[in-house]
Structure 1
Amino acid sequence: MSAKILAVDTATENCSVALVMGDQVFARSEEAPRDHTKKILPMVDEVLKEANVALTDIDAIAFGQGPGSFTGVRIGIGIAQGLAFGADLPMIGVSTLAAMAQGSYRKFGETHVATAIDARMSEVYWARYSREQDGRWTAVDAECVTPPSELAAQLEADSETWAKVGTGWEAYAEHMDTLAINTKACEVLFPEAQDMAFLAQFAYAEGKAVAAEESEPVYLRDKVTWKKLPGRE
């Protein structure tokens, strides 16, 4: 995979930008929950200057499509669309949950990951992923937003040990610690743009980049029940 992908993400408390060109990664990341709009564009300028490329040299712009903070997701897609329109570039939306799974592999080599972001309102954004040999991630559970108590009541044990990533584990530990699956700690709390850029390479290679005006966020608020994917019973 050799596409030049610029990724931006503001869907959670973390704010990040990354440019991936072949084996080169130029990245910025900072936990700044109230300063996304101030920090994201300067980060874009920094990585482009560090890589010595112009925005028009990029093949596509990836963005954190959610789930996450409503405001944060809107900021991210708005910035990405502005950049894409200005440079006539296609866009690729990347799941924040899948990006955290990739981050856990990049940092700690984890291949079975249970992601849970604090969704407020006593709910978590939830999904589990298993890594394939080619670097793709297969969703074991469909992404959803659900009360941790309902997740604990429905989730069944399996033979894997799942790395716990995201803010939801600590925020709702009373219920999350009672899940039937085997888990282990993993120090990944937020998604990062460099992992989104990596995952976007697959979508770009498969021709799944879309025009800026067709890019859409993912909120999940209308999906309130945890659901196992077909064929994963």
Structure 2
Amino acid sequence: MSVKILALDTSTENCSVALLIDDRIYSRSEVAPRDHTKKVLPMVDEVLKEADIQLNDLDALAFGRGPGSFTGVRIGIGIAQGLAFGADLPMIGVSTLKAMAQACYRVSGATDVVSAIDARMGEVYWGRFARQADGHWQEVDSEAVVAPQTLVDASSSDDKNWVSAGTGWQTYANELAALPYTVTAGEIEFPDAQDIVQLAKLEWEQGHTVSVEESSPVYLRDNVTWKKLPGRE
């Protein structure tokens, strides 16, 4: 099935855009923590020009729906909605945790991946995924925002060799080292649009799209607790 999908992601320090046309991917990616709003639209223009295609020629627009930086996720979905609305395109939201699992498969062929993004405040955005024969990723652990020690206490051993992805493994290396199963360090630190667009293609083939109005982010953390400074209670 011929398909043309544009994907973008600004949910973490990495800013990325990818265009999938059939089996070919045009992509741009740059770690630019404070420059997403400056970088992402020029990246969109670059991949469209490289592929010699217009936004209106696309079948869908995909985006990293989170979890990740609250501001970054909002920037990404806002820009994606604007582009999709202007070109009258359906949208596809893709998990950033699952996108990192897909990246591990792309880079090393890993089929059992555990993703952890540093969520600050002593927690990680967490998900464990096993790749299926059809290319989809099954959730072994449901996506959640959780303290590393809680993960350790609630986990049980298995005989798989998991591959790690994400910034949470560096931030909480000591705590996560106590997990009761084998984890091999992977190369993937951030989600990337070139992996998001591959997962979006699978969703497109199954008719899983939403309108601009129905597209929404996934923050996982619904309630943010602010610690007051001493003397300011």
The percentage of counterpart residues that share the same residue type is: 62
Cα shift at 1:101: 0.2
- Structure 2-normalised TM-score? 0.94
Q: Secondary structure at the match of 2:77?
A: helix
Confirm whether residue 194 of structure 1 aligns to residue 176 of structure 2: no
Cα shift at 1:135: 1.1
Task: Give the conservation status (yes or no) of the 8 Å contact 1:145–1:223.
Answer: no
For residues 61 and 69 of structure 1, what CA distance do their matches in structure 2 show? Answer: 21
Task: Give the conservation status (yes or no) of the 8 Å contact 1:8–1:17.
Answer: yes
Residue 223 to residue 144, structure 1, CA distance change in 2 (3 Å)? farther
The one-letter amino acid paired with 1:39 is K
- Indicate the residue corresponding to 1:32 in structure 2: 32
Q: Secondary structure at the match of 1:106?
A: helix
Cα shift at 1:174: 1.5
Residue 2 to residue 137, structure 1, CA distance change in 2 (3 Å)? farther
For residues 171 and 208 of structure 2, what CA distance do their matches in structure 1 show? Answer: 35
Counterparts in 2 of 1:38-53, with a 5 A limit? 38-53=38-53
Cα shift at 1:136: 1.0
- Indicate the residue corresponding to 2:161 in structure 1: 161
- Indicate the residue corresponding to 1:111 in structure 2: 111
- Indicate the residue corresponding to 1:97 in structure 2: 97
**Structure 1 stretches lacking a partner, 5+ long:** 225-233
- Indicate the residue corresponding to 2:211 in structure 1: 211
- Indicate the residue corresponding to 1:55 in structure 2: 55
For residues 223 and 78 of structure 1, what CA distance do their matches in structure 2 show? Answer: 21
- Indicate the residue corresponding to 1:149 in structure 2: 149
Task: Give the conservation status (yes or no) of the 8 Å contact 1:100–1:191.
Answer: yes
Cα shift at 1:22: 1.0
The one-letter amino acid paired with 1:4 is K
Cα shift at 1:170: 0.7
Rg (Cα) greater in structure: 2
Moved over 3 A (4+): none
For residues 46 and 117 of structure 1, what CA distance do their matches in structure 2 show? Answer: 28
For residues 143 and 75 of structure 2, what CA distance do their matches in structure 1 show? Answer: 21
Q: Secondary structure at the match of 1:203?
A: helix
Cα shift at 1:163: 0.1
Task: Give the conservation status (yes or no) of the 8 Å contact 1:26–1:50.
Answer: yes
- Indicate the residue corresponding to 1:173 in structure 2: 173
The one-letter amino acid paired with 2:54 is A
RMSD: 1.2
For residues 118 and 94 of structure 1, what CA distance do their matches in structure 2 show? Answer: 19
Residue 128 to residue 223, structure 1, CA distance change in 2 (3 Å)? farther
Task: Give the conservation status (yes or no) of the 8 Å contact 1:100–1:166.
Answer: yes
For residues 175 and 144 of structure 1, what CA distance do their matches in structure 2 show? Answer: 17
For residues 129 and 50 of structure 1, what CA distance do their matches in structure 2 show? Answer: 33
- Structure 1-normalised TM-score? 0.94
- Indicate the residue corresponding to 1:74 in structure 2: 74
Q: Secondary structure at the match of 2:207?
A: coil
**Structure 2 stretches lacking a partner, 5+ long:** 225-233
For residues 31 and 141 of structure 1, what CA distance do their matches in structure 2 show? Answer: 28
Q: Secondary structure at the match of 1:143?
A: strand
Task: Give the conservation status (yes or no) of the 8 Å contact 1:8–1:193.
Answer: yes
Cα shift at 1:223: 8.7
- Indicate the residue corresponding to 1:13 in structure 2: 13
- Indicate the residue corresponding to 1:228 in structure 2: none
For residues 39 and 68 of structure 1, what CA distance do their matches in structure 2 show? Answer: 18
